[in-house]
Amino acid sequence: MIYLDSAATTFQKPPSVRTAVLRAMRTMSSPGRGGYASAQAAEETLFRCRSLAAQLFGAAGEEQVVFTASATEGLNIAIRSLVPPRGRVVVSGYEHNAVTRTLHALEAEVAVAASPPFVPEAAVEAFRRALALGADAAVCTHVSNVFGCVLPIEEIAGLCRAAGVPLIVDAAQSAGVLPLDLNALGAAFIAMPGHKGLYGPQGTGLLLCAHEAQPLRCGGTGSESLRQEMPDFLPDRLEAGTHNVPGIAGLAAGLAFVRRITPERIAAHERTLLRRAAEGLRTIPGVTVYAPRDEAQQAGALSFTAAGRTCEDVARALAERGIAVRAGLHCAPFAHRTAGTLEGGGTVRLSVSAFSRAQEIDAFLTHLRAILTR
Amino acid sequence: MDRYLFTARSVTHAQQMTRLLEQDGIYVKVRRVGSGVTKDGCGYTLEIPARQYARAAERLRTQENRPVKVLFVSGGKTREVAL
């Protein structure tokens, strides 16, 4: 199989991730629940994972690093911590349903700072206008999961700081690939999955917290057990229940991998592949490619459409040839509305990782050309 | 043996204190304790031998990660002391 759906999950993992998961299953029990060796081994693993994340993402300390099951869970916590029912929220034009459905459930007034893909100055201006009316919070994805367009998060964070509006960053597509610093951004929260650019297993995620947070669920934490209120300190406040220790062990191994390779090198590798894909796609008649002139404006993912073919048909034909891409709306109708691809049913998205190879891009292009010209 | 207990708000906090002390060559283990120590139920402490207390206290006094409270244990009796 040629796997080009890393924006959903990086399917190929470093061998160290699998080893860490298996070792955790063999040797670790419940962290924070006992003073014996297997519990302590689990506690050490969690702490190591928090330390790696804090260092990589500019958190002040390990207590700011909260384990979640996904970026979606982290975004739910962050949004529900900041946005009251029917509150006003400014969002980018590229938000995922993890953000927009949560805001919908809160009946929030959503101001969309819409801007065309790959035009960062337009995104800044859209946020400037939307923030002028005030907001309870702003939510901005760092990289669109549909188009791979990079949002100018530093500038947007600066606008939010100036306006006194807490910012939530959705780093689902950027963590492990682009520079991301909680302290430097001055963001309230950054949410990220463990199973994409951090190469951990599915079912893992991180929420970096620089703001008071409300728990999404209540339960045992192994601390202050006599009290019936959830602890008022992190990370316990947000981590009720037994942790996903094997998953977090794998995530720690993934974080170590990213640190060793460096996000800069991973980003450079992925951009080389996306450029190769975009150049090849432009030579296929009827194909519309969503890619910028300045490749620094894109990370990890690339969308395209083919005239006269639905995106689902194209993806299915590719799948029959052993090529995994994703078609449709990618759980991000806002992004398609912003880019004008909603009416056509979305796009075909290919997305890459540190393990993707140029030969795979070339094979994808060869098969796609054959599919579209037969 | 006389010793000090540095209580932590969570196992993560206890681990942070442990790492800071390790930077000064003070190696201690995180221990679970019960309501008798924490008053609020399950908790965590670092057990510091009396001879290392001064250095440990100095290391953590200026840190955000200072212990929630410090207990002095001697002759089977425990009392809270200032850091």
- Given this chain, do its domains A2-10+263-373 and A15-261 carry the same CATH topology? no
Find residue A197's DSSP bridge partners.
Answer: none
| A62/B38 CB distance under 8 A | no
Decide the pairing of beta strands B43-49 and B3-8.
antiparallel
pLDDT band at B1 (very low <50, low <70, confident <90, very high): confident
pLDDT of residue B40: 82
Mean residue pLDDT across chain A: 97
Q: A275 by DSSP, 3-state: which?
A: helix
What is the per-residue pLDDT across B26-74, written as a single tens digit (0 to 9) for each? 999 888 888 778 788 888 999 999 999 999 999 998 778 899 999 999 9
A35–B contact, CB cutoff 8 A:
yes
Across the interface, do B10 and A235 touch by the CB < 8 Å criterion?
yes
In chain B, where the domains are located: 3-81
Q: What letter represents residue A108's amino acid?
A: A
Residues listed for chain A: 374
Percent of chain A with pLDDT over 90: 97
Only one residue has tokens 């200072």, namely B66
pTM attached to this predicted model: 0.96
- CATH topology (fold) of B3-81: Alpha-Beta Plaits (3.30.70)
Put the strands of the sheet holding A326-328 in their side by side order: A287-290, A301-306, A347-351, A326-328
A2-10+263-373 to CATH, choices 3.90.1150.10, 3.30.43.10, 3.40.50.970, 3.40.50.720: 3.90.1150.10
- CB proximity under 8 Å: A 234-293 to B: 235-236
Question: Which amino acid is it at A202?
Answer: Q
Q: What confidence score (pLDDT) does residue B35 get?
A: 79
C-alpha span between B3 and A86 (Å, rounded): 54
CATH class of A15-261: alpha beta
Q: What is the DSSP letter of A145?
A: T
- Summarize the confidence of residues A327-332 as an average pLDDT: 95
CA A200 – CA A222 distance, rounded (Å): 25
Collapsing DSSP to helix, strand or coil, A220 comes out as coil
Instruction: Say if residue A179's pLDDT is above 90.
Output: yes
> What pLDDT is recorded for position B36?
78
The stretch A13-21 carries a mean pLDDT of 98
| Interaxial angle between packed helices A153-163 and A120-131, expressed in degrees from 0 to 180 and rounded to the nearest 10 | 10
Where does the pLDDT of residue A119 fall: very low under 50, low under 70, confident under 90, or very high at 90 and above? very high
Within 10 Å of residue A156's Cβ, how many Cβ atoms?
27
* Interchain proximity B12–A221, CB inside 8 Å: no
| Interchain contact, B10 vs A63, CB within 8 Å | yes
Taking 90 as the threshold, does the pLDDT of residue A83 lie above it? Answer: yes
Check residue A306 and give its pLDDT.
Answer: 97
How distant is the alpha carbon of residue A241 from its chain centre?
24
**Cα separation of A261 and A263, whole Å?**
7
Rounded to whole angstroms, the Cα distance separating A44 from A236 reads 16
Q: Is-contact A139 A81, C-beta < 8 A?
A: no
Number of neighbouring beta carbons within 10 Å of residue B82: 7
CA distance A250 to A198: 10
For chain A, give the percent of residues with pLDDT over 70: 100
- Residue A33 has a pLDDT of 75
Q: CB–CB of A109/A136 below 8 Å? A: no
In this prediction, residue A301 carries a pLDDT of 98
Q: Tokens in use for A320?
A: 């029959």
Residues A62-77 have pLDDT tens digits of: 999 999 999 999 999 9
User: CB distance B44–A223 less than 8 Å?
Assistant: yes
Q: Please answer yes or no on whether B16 and A61 come within 8 Å at the CB atom.
A: yes
Q: Looking at CA atoms only, how far is residue A149 from chain B in angstroms?
A: 36
Query: Per residue in A206-221, pLDDT tens?
Result: 999 999 999 999 999 9
Residue A199 to residue A53: CA distance in whole angstroms: 13
Contact criterion met (CB < 8 Å) for B10 and A34:
no
Considering only the beta carbons, identify the residue of B10, B31, B64 that sits closest to A223: B10
Q: With an 8 Å Cβ cutoff, are A63 and B35 in contact?
A: no
Pick from A31, A62, A222: which is nearest to B42 by CB? A222
Closest partner residue to A227 among B11, B41, B64, by Cβ?
B41
Q: Find the mean pLDDT for residues A129-138.
A: 97
Place of tokens 């300045």: A294
Domain ranges of chain A: 2-10+263-373, 15-261
Which of B7, B9, B11, B20 has the most A C-beta neighbours within 10 Å, making it the best mutation to test the interface with A?
B11
Min distance A6 CA to chain B CA atoms (Å): 32
Mean pLDDT of A333-354: 95
| Beta-bridge mates of residue A110 | A89
**Would you call B81 helix, strand, or coil by DSSP?**
strand
DSSP annotation of A297 reads G
Q: Which residue has the tokens 């031998």?
A: B49
Rounded-to-integer distance, Cα A43 and Cα A243, Å: 10
Which residues in A296-336 belong to E strands, given as ranges? Answer: 301-306, 323-324, 326-328
CA distance readout (Å), B76 to A7, B1, B4, B37, B72: 59, 9, 12, 13, 10
Cβ contacts (< 8 Å) between B38 and chain A: which residues?
224
**What is the value of ipTM here, to two decimals?**
0.88
What's the pLDDT score for residue A374?
74
Do A63 and B38 count as a contact with CB atoms less than 8 A apart? no
Positive or negative torsion for Cα A69, A75, A80, A85: negative
Contact assignment for A50 to B12 by CB distance below 8 Å: yes
> What's the CA gap between A147 and A299, in Å, rounded?
9
pLDDT > 80? residue A148: yes
Subunit contact A63:B16, Cβ cutoff 8 A: yes
Q: How far apart are CA A155 and CA A128, in angstroms?
A: 10
Side chain identity at residue A321, one-letter code: R
- With a cut of 90, say whether residue A35 has pLDDT above it: no
User: Is residue A160 within 8 Å of residue A113, measured between CB atoms?
Assistant: no
CB A104 within 8 A of CB A125: no
For A234-262, what is the mean pLDDT? 98
Q: Smallest Cβ distance to A47: which of B12, B31, B39?
A: B12
In B, what residues contact A, Cβ < 8 A? Answer: 9-13, 15-16, 19, 30-32, 35, 38-44, 64-65
pLDDT of residue B81: 92
Are residues A349 and A318 in contact, defined by beta-carbon separation less than 8 angstroms? no
pLDDT at A129: 98
The confidence score (pLDDT) of residue A182 equals: 98
What pLDDT is attached to residue B61?
Answer: 87
pLDDT per position as a tens digit, A288-300: 999 998 999 999 9
A with B: how many residue pairs have Cβ under 8 Å apart?
A: 63
